[in-house]
A and B are shown apart, each in its own frame.
Chain A
């Protein structure tokens, strides 16, 4: 099946620890995105990548880092500098062509205590 996978579904960390969230897609999409969703709110863009080895900051990049070494993979690291990391994290991809539609993964719920 083609799609986007995120792992794990639930993640628990202690404050002060870095944590990396996985996002993999087999849709052959060029562009990938990371969003953060807080309860009762919409999606806010953290980082995005339109091509391998290139990525740009979104609206709320502080305290996060990404890499795009392979077309299929776009991992997100939540660093200890992120002041309020507990949230639902969503990864998405897009063909990079004329369509704007983004396909989303199932999400990772991160809880930091």
Chain B
């Protein structure tokens, strides 16, 4: 299995809702990432988990809350989002030294906040 699976593929949520994005991989990778990609823009790193511990937080607002319950799963909990948070959220995984071994990306969750 060489895939990163993200669910749901599409999500529409209101500004008062709480929702979660899920990412799963079974490649034995011990680093996992969340990226945010606005329309017609490049992906921007949000969070990095290494060995299930948060290692990088790119000053992301607290309405985004990541969680890595085990080495195969990565969640992104969403609460009180704003319309400007509408974007494609991409998950990726890698062996711990991703720069050396490369990253595998999922196909993303397209989030619309109304």
- Are A and B associated in one complex? no
* Chain B residues in the interface with A (C-beta under 8 A): none
